[in-house]
Structure 1
C-alpha cells in the first residue's frame, strides 16, 4: 500500500515518541529516586531501548520505513535508498516525536524528578554523556554504535529474508539495539540517534526541575554528528557489500 507523506510523517512522529517512552522511560525508572525500578540495573535500560526500537519497526516499518532516527534517514538518502525531498519532513517529524515522548516520560515520572537530587541521574533520563568525560571516546562510541545499528538494521530489513518476513526482521533489529546497549553502551549511554539526544537536552534545559544541573551544551554536538557519520558509513558498507 502506498501511504501519503502525511501518514508517513505521523508514523515517524509516533514511532520516535515510542522510542523515547520505552528507552528514556527505562532510564528514568532505574535512575530516579523512589521508583519501583530504582537501581534495577543496566539490563532494564537495554531492554527498554530494544523494545523502543522493535515496536515502532513492527508497527510502522511498512508505513514509513520506521526510521525514527535522523541519522538513518540521512544515511539512506546519501546512498540513494530514500528520496531527498522527504528528508527534512521526516527529520522534523522525528524531532517532534522525540519531544512528545520525552514530555510523556517527564509527566509520568514527575514526582520522582521532584524527589531526585542527583543531577547526573536526572540528566541520564534525558541525554547522554561520556562516562570518562572524554570527547574522543564519546565520538568513537557513538560513531561505531550507530554504524553497527544501521548496517545491522539494513541487512535485517532490506535483504530478501527480511523483506519476506518483516516481523522477524523487526525483532532482530530490536535485539541489535538491546545488544548494543549492553555491549557498547557503557561509555556513553548510548544515543545512536540525534533526535533521541538533542531534543531531550533542549527539554532538560527548559523544564523546571530542581537539582537538574547543567545540560552539557559544550559536548552536545557529539551525539548529533557522530551518529550521522556512523550511519552514513554503515549505509555505504551495506550498499557496497550486500545490496
Structure 2
C-alpha cells in the first residue's frame, strides 16, 4: 500500500504539475504571451508520460506499480492479481492522488488565484483553473454522456492492451527494465490522439483524488457532481469508463494475442526437445 501510495503520488504530482505549468504557470509568470495552444498541450502530454515512467520506477519492485484502479481491476480479471487485495490498492492509489493534488495546489495557489483574478471569476466558476486537477468533457459533446464515456473506455482499453503486450515476455517485450519508459510513451500517445475529448483521465484515482481535493478547496459543483455549462453530473464517467476500458483491453489481448503466443512458444519448445525415443 505504501508503494502504491508513493508511486501514485509521484504520478499525480508530476502530471498535475505539468498541467499547472501550462494553464497558470507559464501565462502568469510572464514567460508566455500567447493563448493556451498546441505547445501547452505537448507539455501536458509529455508531462503525464514522464510522470508514469517515474511513478512506475518508484513502486514497480514492491507492488507492481499499478498506480491506477483500472489496471488493478484488469489484472484481477485476468487472474494475475488476487481479488482480496483490490480494495487496499484502490485506497492507496486514491490517497496518493489526493495528497499529490494538495501539494501541487500548495505550490501553485498564487498562480491560480492570480489567473482567477485576471479573468474576474470566483473559484467555483473557473473551469480553467479546475482543469489543472481533474478532467471535463469537450464542449462539442454537449450534454451527451455517451461520447465521453466511450472516449474513456477506448483510451483505457488502449492503455491496458499495450501494457499487456509490453509485459508479455513471450511476445516482443522490452528488456533491461525499459517497461516504464515504453508505458510512459503509451500515455503520451493516448494524450496526443485522444486527449482533447475528455482530458484522458484513463485512471479513476488520477481523476477522483484531485477532483475530491478541488471540491474541498472551493471549486464546488464543477468538481462534484461535475456540473458546468454543457456538462452535468460528470464525476462518474472518469471512474466507470476506465474500469470498463481496462477490462476490455486485457480481454482483447488475452483472446486475440495471448493464445497464439502461447501456442507458438509451445511449438518451439517441442521442436527443440525433438521426437521422443523409446528404450530398446
TM-score by length of 1: 0.89
Distance 1:200 1:162, change over 3 A: farther
Higher relative contact order (CA 8 A, sep 6+): 1
8 Å CA contact 2:6–2:58 kept in 1: the answer is no
Report the CA distance between 1:202 and its aligned residue: 1.1
Render the CA deviation track for 1:135-176: whole Å, top value 9, x for unaligned: 221111111000000111121123346767252222110000
The one of 177, 185, 191 equivalent to 1:181 is 191
1:59 counterpart = 2:62: no
8 Å CA contact 2:152–2:241 kept in 1: the answer is yes
Q: How does 1:1-243 map to 2 (within 5 A)?
A: 9-32=1-24, 33-35=27-29, 39=36, 40-117=39-116, 119-132=126-139, 133=142, 134-160=144-170, 165=175, 167-208=177-218, 214-217=222-225, 218-243=233-258
Render the CA deviation track for 1:49-103: whole Å, top value 9, x for unaligned: 1011111223322221110000110111112110111111111100110011111
8 Å CA contact 1:126–1:204 kept in 2: the answer is yes
Q: Please, what is the CA RMSD of the aligned residues?
A: 2.0
Report the CA distance between 1:22 and its aligned residue: 1.3
Structure 1: 5+ residue stretches without partners: 1-8
Q: Report the structure number with the largest CA radius of gyration.
A: 2
TM-score by length of 2: 0.78
**C-alpha distance in 2, partners of 1:77/1:14?**
21
**C-alpha distance in 1, partners of 2:145/2:54?**
32
Report the CA distance between 1:238 and its aligned residue: 2.2
Distance 1:81 1:35, change over 3 A: farther
Q: Number of aligned pairs?
A: 233
